Amino acid sequence: MAKRSDAGKRSKGAIRTLRDFWARVTEGLKMGQLWGEFKSEARSSYGLYSKDVDWDAIGREKSKLKRVLFAAWALFQALLMKLSPARRVLLIVALLLIVVHPEIRSGEGELNFGGIGAAILFILLALELADRVTMKRDLEIAREIQQWLVPAQAPEIPGMDIAFATRPQNTVAGDYYDAFLRPWPANGASKPSLLIAVADVAGKSVPAALLMATFQASLRALAATTASLDEIVAGLERYARAHSLEGLRFTTAFLAEINLDTREMCYVNCGHNDPMLCRASGAIERLSTGGPPLGLPVFTDNELPYISGRMQLTPGDLLFVFTDGVVEAVNEAGEEYREKRLLSYMNSSAGSAADVLSRVMTDVNNFVGYARQHDDITALVLRVTA
């Protein structure tokens, strides 16, 4: 009887250990969620390799079998060329050993080269995982540094309710948001003005993140002076043009300065998605006044095309500023979120800035589902409360 009890305890302990192991492996995700995540990652990986394939040449083949074989061969070559030269050779050797499966007989038995090929594949997997982990660790450090450049919490300003959120496509992002008080009061004002900014650097991941950092530093340095908003934009344009790689790394941005005495807002839209100003009456205005993205090499210092717009804010008004990652979010069916869905939330924008932002971000999440994120998603909401 005691033996049965001990065996039962060991069995329960083993089951508990397996459950804990499975929970760590799956991070609590259900099978449906795991399958959805796998499909999304598989589609993304296929896109990475397929862009290096000459599909036009394959499509000219009349035989369906040849098209399939040529496509498989082209995808294999695309995968192969993503590896280092040494690993390419090891992969080819491993596959040959597994496919040809030679065996050498000796007096002491047989030597199975298929198993050696499988071992080489496992070693290659371990090497690629080690590279990935190292890169991920470096990117996590870069992400921490990047998070220092944007506010962790919205500033507390009487009469203003501010909330913001960002979701990078990768570990680091090219989107930027900020809201801060300038150190010097504007002309005729008794208190410093509020400056808000949302920007999106062309491109993704590390290159865009590096330029985002320089944009943040430039904006903060210019805002610390007595320069007007127009002068700040001109300074950002000159810097962006000098570091845009001939326009390949341009930046869209929305910048606004609010006089906290009068609630007058001066803004410049630099090729950014037009923010939505939802009036307390229910009317929605789009803020499009400004000019092209920062950094395009077609202008000189003497012909900067930026003009500023002015709006009078009143209690109850809500300003929603967003990057294109919000409206261009794609679901598993390949459909975009689009501004039409976003406008439906702006038409019922009751609640605090955080409430509105949470509803929008939740709806974007539900719309996208398990589809892989294609761009950084950033939004800033400002509600005038008094």
Query: What is the rounded distance in angstroms from the CA atom of residue 141 to the CA atom of residue 145?
Result: 6
Quick: pLDDT tens for 98-130: 887 666 555 555 667 778 888 888 999 888 888
Q: For the chain, what is the mean pLDDT?
A: 84
Domain ranges for the chain: 2-144, 151-384
Q: Compute CA 138 distance to the chain's CA centroid, rounded to the nearest angstrom.
A: 17
Quick: pLDDT tens for 187-222: 667 789 999 999 998 877 777 788 888 889 999 999
Q: Helix, strand, or coil here: 154? A: coil
Residues near 263 by beta carbon (within 8 Å), at least 6 away in sequence: 159, 312, 313, 314, 384
Lowest mean pLDDT among 94-103, 114-123, 294-303, 361-370: 294-303
Closest CA relative to residue 182, chosen from 124, 254, 257: 257
**CA dihedral over 314, 307, 235, 217, signed as positive or negative:** positive
Q: Any idea how long the chain is?
A: 386
Q: Which residues pair with 256 in a beta bridge?
A: 196, 267
Closest CA relative to residue 81, chosen from 119, 49, 46: 49
DSSP-assigned letters across all residues of 266-286: EEEEEB----EEE-TTS-EEE
> According to the model, what pLDDT value does residue 60 have?
83
Contact present, 81 and 103 (Cβ < 8 Å)? no
How far from 257 is each of 262, 267, 290, 312, 379, CA to CA, in Å?
Answer: 12, 6, 14, 12, 17
Q: Compute CA 269 distance to the chain's CA centroid, rounded to the nearest angstrom.
A: 22
> According to the model, what pLDDT value does residue 3 have?
57
Lowest mean pLDDT among 38-47, 173-182, 219-228: 38-47
> According to the model, what pLDDT value does residue 6 have?
64
Q: Helix, strand, or coil here: 382? A: strand
Overall pTM > 0.85: no
Closest CA relative to residue 382, chosen from 265, 291, 271, 294: 265
> According to the model, what pLDDT value does residue 16 have?
82
In the DSSP assignment, the letter for residue 348 is T
> According to the model, what pLDDT value does residue 109 have?
56
> According to the model, what pLDDT value does residue 266 have?
96
377-384/318-322 β-pairing: antiparallel
Contact present, 295 and 280 (Cβ < 8 Å)? no
- Superfamily for domain range 151-384: PPM-type phosphatase domain (3.60.40.10)
